[in-house]
Amino acid sequence: MARIIVLLKDIVDLTEMKVDPETRQPKTEGVKRKISEVDKRALETAIKLKESGEGEVIALSMGGSGTRTALLAALAMGADAAYIINDEALAGVDALATSKVLKAAVEKLGDYDLIIGGEMALDSLSAQVCPRLAELLGLPQVTYVKEIELGEGTLRAVRDLEDVDEVVEVDLPAVVAVVREVNEPRIPSLMNIMKAKRKPTEEWDAEAVGLSAEEVKASSSVEVLKVEAPKVDRKRIVIKADTIEDAVLQLAEAIVSEGVLER
């Protein structure tokens, strides 16, 4: 019976986010939050492993007040329980501090066979949490995984290294980071969505997992000063011609002169 912990991060729905044209900063207020897409594929991987035998899937997240709502999707997909570290004092910490908090939460959860997360969250793209967590726990780690299979006390995985696939085998417990190509997440049925609200969900603060929020925050060395969209100055070139043929020639000449295409 495998006990699998899945690391999930809830982020703003990037398809609904807009940018303020004056400040060039993203407008996130009022935008719904959801599980990061690659993390959702990690969850699907864990559920499939559970379905191939007996087991338990536990969703673990470090977030805020909206995380509980976002994790309902994880419970609807098939996670058996959800645990959230929700502490305002930890808001904005970097990947190292986040990994320390997750380590403490994992140890509080007790025995486990496997920890799975996405290659990276689609808001920060840091790809650091899974490797850092594995290092802190002293566990083997397998990254860029697109196929996975559990054996008796071992894990066999196929790693996607762009121009070549690498097959590896490690002893359990281990930490795995999957890529987008690993699967396509399921869409929960209405019945499972209704059942999700009755599954156990628990929130902890830093003290509950045996940490000092002040010490954790002090270990965070990366500070995000601002996030803004790149400035784009359009040249607003207008092509005027009497015929379509002349317009096409002028357009082609303009494209070549801008270096977009070569003659």
pLDDT band at 192 (very low <50, low <70, confident <90, very high): very high
Confidence (pLDDT) at 136:
96
pLDDT band at 240 (very low <50, low <70, confident <90, very high): confident
pLDDT band at 108 (very low <50, low <70, confident <90, very high): very high
- Give the gyration radius of the chain's Cα atoms: 23
Q: For 20, which DSSP code?
A: -
How far apart CA 22 and CA 16 sit, in angstroms, is 19
- Average pLDDT, integer, range 121-142: 90
Confidence (pLDDT) at 42:
96
Residue 139 has pLDDT above 90, yes or no: yes
Which residues sit opposite 114 in a β-bridge? Answer: 4, 174
Lowest mean pLDDT among 8-17, 69-78, 157-166: 8-17
Q: What are the residue boundaries of the structural domains of the chain, listed by start?
A: 2-218, 233-263
Tokens of 145: 């995984």
Confidence (pLDDT) at 217:
86
Instruction: Pick the closest to residue 132 from 109, 101, 105 (CA basis).
Output: 101
Ramachandran bin of 259, using left for φ above 0, alpha for ψ from -120 to 50, beta for the remaining angles = left
pLDDT band at 158 (very low <50, low <70, confident <90, very high): very high
- Mean pLDDT for all residues in the chain: 89
Lowest mean pLDDT among 17-26, 133-142, 184-193: 17-26
Tokens of 206: 């830093």
CATH, domain range 2-218: 3.40.50.620
Percent of the chain exceeding pLDDT 90 equals: 57
Whether the CB-CB separation of 115 and 173 falls below 8 Å is answered with yes
Tens of pLDDT, residues 198-208: 999 999 999 99
Which stretches of the chain are assigned E, i.e. beta strand?
2-8, 10-12, 18-19, 26-27, 33-35, 55-63, 81-86, 114-118, 141-150, 154-160, 165-171, 174-178, 201-204
- Average pLDDT, integer, range 128-144: 95
Q: On the CB side of 181, how many CA atoms lie within 13 Å of its CA?
A: 11
Compute φ and ψ for 96, nearest 5 degrees: -65, -50
Residue, of 7 and 231, whose pLDDT is higher: 7
Whether the CB-CB separation of 47 and 188 falls below 8 Å is answered with no
Confidence (pLDDT) at 118:
94
Confidence (pLDDT) at 129:
93
Confidence (pLDDT) at 183:
94
Residue 159 has pLDDT above 80, yes or no: yes
Residue 1 has pLDDT above 80, yes or no: no
Percent of the chain exceeding pLDDT 70 equals: 99
